[in-house]
Amino acid sequence: MEKVREDNAGYHFKKSFKEYFSDNKLMCFSALLCMILMYGKHAFTTNYLFDTDDLLYHTKDSTLNWLQIGRQGNVLTQKIFGLLWYNPYFVGALCLVLFPIVIFFMAYLFYQGGLKKSKVSLYSFVFLTMTSPIWVYQFYFSLQWFEMVWALFLITFAQFLIWKMFADEKWRKQKIYKTALLLLAEILLLNWAFSTYQTYVILFIFLSAGIYLISLVNEKDNFNEKEFGYRLGYLVVLFLAAYITNMLISNKFFTTSDYVTGMTVWGKVSREEILSQLKMYLFRCHTGKDMQYSALMGVGTVFMLMEIVFVWIQKKNKIWYKILFLLASLAVWMSAHAMNIYTGRVLMIRAQIVYPFVLGYQIMFLLWCIRENGISDLIGKVKYVGILLLTVIGIWIQMGNVFRLWYTEDMKCKADTFILQKVNMAIDSLNLYGEERNLPMAFVGNYSPTLNSGCINTKENMYWMNDASIGMSCWERVNEQPNRLIRIMSSQFGVDYVRLSSDEQVNRARENARDMPVYPYNGFAQVRDGMIIVKMSNDY
């Protein structure tokens, strides 16, 4: 195996990925095993899932509304990989393998950037990132699971191309057409990723800043402000080119809704209310007050602030080194919260996918710095072992929450199925014949099934209403989507009920149901005003 230079000058992409894999096989296979344990059951489930159910039972060659909300990259991925005819088993099998490989590949960039001697740091990044409960909320939507993971690979591969170019000391002197072709290829890759999921714009910023920061520290003793200035300039130009072209293409040819811009509440609600919610969010996400967050984020953030101060008070550090260190560190931290700050609200949990990466990165950076500063003395060893122990505990807690979330989802599906069976029996007891069996079906009132104490009560989460997915019963969305229940019933259980055709029918059903008993009491299903009305509750 080629011996990597012991000095800290530059990036060492000469070491092949094959050699990297040979040095880190255990991490790769452990990540794969971790993925199988956490998501293996979900990968091969046919439980009804909001949005996914539309593909699971009904639609062939469907692009849903991806084009209307600026996610044409989703459609491109589906067409290339033959996913327009949705098969949950095929998608699940692909993602069980691809996701850990992508995270492993991402760790490779940090490894080559300067963490080649710090395997423990890389382990912390891989497993803190992968075990975050936030991925449960994202991967719940199986209909775009593969597309999300593939776009993650595209961004990681684009970063690989960027930093491989920077590894050549003469990259600024290479022929212009070579740089232009590489820039064009990277723009195309990023356009594909950005148009798959808008939050990946922020993920690109995180990865750029994260690798940049490691390279900066790694080359501290040989800091070349001109070189790092050019690197920063290239990254900024690439980002702006990719972002602007994606926005132009989306707005010109595809986007017809305000799905993204409509999330922004700045100017719509008071500034005091926005700042109050953001303050609460920042406190909770740094202290692990909610199940999807980890207190290790607070530990990592405090360390990053201390490191910034330490860099600035050292007189031997050049002023441009201090400035670039500050900017890169803040960019990494801000990446986890940028979308919430931009929109002025706490987004649904599944949209906060940059958070796990920043969490893993900050702890990785902390462990690396402690080791680089030396752990030969007692204090150094105590700090290193202490942070490492907290990291292991954090990973264990996150894995436990992942398993509880999937358990909660399974119990919710069982409860929903049980209720659905009782509803079917109640309708059958009406003894409808002839044309009466073709009457439209109307559900009235949201209903919340009670789950056992082993489940996570998602209603206790301050962001629950922003993430209608894990643990949320279909019966809790009766008022919002009354016809969705009909689709689920007819698709999954073979019952042939007619959906309501208008909002006017919905309002009529609600008026007719006012004096009816509610589920599960006798008479909660009746024929009134030319409709079969099922009253689940008085909540409407």
| Low-confidence residues in the chain, pLDDT < 50 | 1-11, 464-465
Task: Assess whether 350 and 440 both reside in one domain.
Answer: no
**Pair (449, 339) in one structural domain:** no
CA distance linking residue 356 with residue 334, whole number of Å = 13
DSSP helix, strand, coil percent of the chain (3-state; round to 5): 65, 5, 30
Residues 192 and 150 occupy one common structural domain: yes
The answer for residues whose C-beta is within 8 angstroms of residue 530's C-beta and 6 or more apart is: 439, 440
- Asked if 208 and 353 sit in the same domain, the reply is yes
CA–CA gap between residue 374 and residue 186 (Å, rounded): 38
Q: Which domain holds residue 477?
A: 405-535
Cβ pair 478, 443 in contact under 8 A = yes
Tens of pLDDT, residues 61-90: 566 677 878 888 888 888 888 776 777 888
**pLDDT at residue 209, rounded to an integer:** 97
**Does residue 37 sit in the same domain as residue 184?**
yes
Q: What is the pLDDT of residue 469?
A: 81
| Domain finish residue from 373, 390, 422 | 373
Residues 71 and 162 in one domain: yes
The residue from 351, 373, 395 where one domain ends is 373
pLDDT at 1: 33
Residue 449 lies in a domain: yes
Beta-strand ranges (E) seen in 298-412 are none
Q: Are residues 227 and 87 in the same domain?
A: yes
Q: What is the pLDDT of residue 170?
A: 87
**So what's the pLDDT on residue 257?**
67
Please report the pLDDT score of residue 12 as a whole number. Answer: 53
Decide if 367 contacts 386 (C-beta within 8 A): no
| Cβ pair 164, 213 in contact under 8 A | no
The verdict on residue 383 lying in a domain is: no
Number of domains in the chain: 2
For tokens 């207190």, name the residue.
295
Name 52's Cβ contacts closer than 8 Å, sequence gap at least 6.
Answer: 88, 141, 142, 143
The answer as to whether 386 is a domain residue is: no
The CA-based dihedral angle spanning residues 222, 224, 227, 233, taken in that order and rounded to the nearest 10 degrees: 120
Among 330, 357, 373, the domain-final residue is: 373
Residues 166 and 27 in one domain: yes
Is 436 inside any structural domain? yes
Both 286 and 217 in a single domain?
A: yes
- Best CA proximity match to 43, nearest among 96, 97, 102, 100: 96
Q: Find all residues with CB under 8 Å of 410, minimum gap 6, and list them.
A: 47
Q: What is the model's pLDDT at position 58?
A: 57
Within-domain flag for 399: no
Number of CB atoms found within 10 A of residue 87's CB: 12
In a domain, residue 397? The reply is no
Q: Is residue 451 part of a domain?
A: yes
479 within a domain of the structure (yes/no): yes
Describe the crossing of helices 176-194 and 72-81 by its angle, rounded to 10 degrees: 100
Q: Are residues 333 and 450 in the same domain?
A: no
- For residues 36 and 157, state if they share a domain: yes
* Whether residues 164 and 264 fall in one domain: yes
